[in-house]
Structure 1
């Protein structure tokens, strides 16, 4: 059994928003060194939105197949964001690339997203047999979608999707098990094709827009009523029926101030106006607050975040505390986070163990169910754009009388590097408690 170790401090690195960062891929390619040799050379494939999107799809489907076969169902939700960017980019460009049968292509892309969403749902419920059945549908639809692309695009996507890098020299890439010319180590780390690598053609595709208005001015220490509006990019209102319920709610709002210290998790309720939802909260810091609406909208049913700001007449505080932190004390209880590896890295899942103890060191076992589980962890990047939302491994907790603790296992899967403020949310005596931590994600 792998021993859990605590991650040591590292200097902060800037982290960019997974759906909003514009990266010039040529600059990255210029810094990447391909390993020479007949069995290792990996020429960079011709890059286009279609190549990148198909490479993303290929990697996602491979990971889904691996997770189901190894019964690691808790990891399946990790792939939603990447898949959503790829599918939405292809859907948006389906009519502009001169593709024949664009209507059938879009229908099959949508069906693929729906199939992965169905697999996600069965995996969240830890249903192995049903997940295997849904996976077969995913694979069949993926092969159908892949057939729409030309042989040239399929070959380039295959090359892009199967690159590996040296664990010691990340700029050295090549075929799996090839040897790094700098240190002799095997190239054993898959290079994930991520949304931030795809540039504006894919990364900027947003399908849902969020906006807010308040019933009064935003002021520290004063409760405020906030009205959230959700609509598709076409302007169509997002109704409750357009959203899939996840962890007992259709909309999860992740709200925080600019100093990344005052976190709120709210669930807005529909008003009489289509597409409008209302909630209230009490800010504890000056300045505006940023809101991420965590959603799974139809027709694809894949997780996405719609971001907006709650404005204020006052100035917010900057982020000044970037310390790596694995311990917190909240209301007399000790919270500690352990990692199964020394470093957290982009695109590499890591197991995190949250342990809660009393002041005398005894395990705390009276955690109450909150949103169908015993804890949630949400993370905010120093760039004030990127978020993580994690749940413990295991089936949903549907019995309100059930109690949990002292340990819960999570999986951290980051798509960009940088400092992240984490908040573990639990419920005790009917009230939410939030324990803050700080971690660094390395490239």
Structure 2
């Protein structure tokens, strides 16, 4: 015959208390895990952590994360509406909440600026990296000068506070332009060494394929002596910046070095880049030395 065990009220109370403590502990652990995942890197949203942490890839401070990506609305107004080459114009931006359409007035600081603006010509020959000023009413504006007639692309990179990272493009053309907005250029591969203001830049790409993260290494040498550079300076919070676009400008992304495998002040600056599809990509790389920024460009073929 089996034996039946009975528990007194005190024992039952102790068991209930233990179960309650376990449940509370589990809930606290869940809350702690959730809180630790509520911060993300603005440039690498897959990197999560807690308040005060920095990204292990680029050393940027983590910012509050959102559960889902929501595209914000970007209004752009050019003055004059049809810019003339070589003349000063002004671009004004308004960012609107995707749900309420309210004007966004608060942005996270990403690499020392709240808004990065790239201006690229459709033929991929012109590139500029500027930073609009934020005003109390939420509007942002920047001076815009383009060198010659043609079609251009404004590429905006920003992070609304409490939102997700945004990368938005808008097209415009100069006065009297009658050419195509849709016919892409046909750039040829160009990975030869580039000579900048005071440096020579060598790109050491792997066998680049679409759909996988890969490391691109830029090797920098002094233009005069040929010696490896060891005095790079941070430019906008990083020792390098890369803007990459597909030939038709339908794909564009802004990347920063991976600190763990880059030299802190040169000569090797390493970027982790994922090209989403095959084709030709134009890369503009920027580095600062002695207070002056050097911009060089490469055209990289990406295989399937």
Alignment TM-score, normalising by the size of structure 2: 0.71
Tell me: higher relative CO, structure 1 or 2? Use CA pairs within 8 A at least 6 residues apart: 1
In structure 2, the residue matched to 1:406 is 267
SS at match of 1:345: coil
In structure 1, the residue matched to 2:146 is 283
Q: Distance in 1 between matches of 2:51 and 2:156?
A: 19
For the 8 Å contact 2:118–2:156, the answer to whether it is kept is yes
Aligned residues: 253
CA offsets, 1:330-389, max 9 Å, x none? 2252111112x32x2222111111111123421123322111111101111112221121
Shift of 1:314: 3.9
Q: Distance in 1 between matches of 2:58 and 2:290?
A: 31
In structure 2, the residue matched to 1:72 is none
CA offsets, 1:114-149, max 9 Å, x none? xx6656983426699x99xx9xxx9xx99xx9xxxx
SS at match of 2:259: coil
For the 8 Å contact 1:288–1:314, the answer to whether it is kept is no
Shift of 1:280: 1.0
For the 8 Å contact 1:77–1:120, the answer to whether it is kept is no
Asked if 1:124 is matched to 2:55, the reply is yes
In structure 2, the residue matched to 1:226 is 91
In structure 2, the residue matched to 1:310 is 172
For the 8 Å contact 2:92–2:139, the answer to whether it is kept is yes
Q: Distance in 1 between matches of 2:234 and 2:156?
A: 22
Q: Cα distance 1:439–1:426, how it changes in 2: closer, same or farther (>3 A)?
A: same
SS at match of 2:73: strand
For the 8 Å contact 2:58–2:257, the answer to whether it is kept is no
SS at match of 1:438: strand
Q: Distance in 2 between matches of 1:209 and 1:410?
A: 29
Alignment TM-score, normalising by the size of structure 1: 0.50
Structure 1, unmatched stretches of 5+, are 1-74, 81-115, 146-204, 396-402
User: Which has the higher Rg, Structure 1 or Structure 2?
Assistant: 2
Asked if 1:253 is matched to 2:117, the reply is yes
Q: Cα distance 1:348–1:296, how it changes in 2: closer, same or farther (>3 A)?
A: same
CA offsets, 1:199-230, max 9 Å, x none? xxxxxx86212232222342222232221222
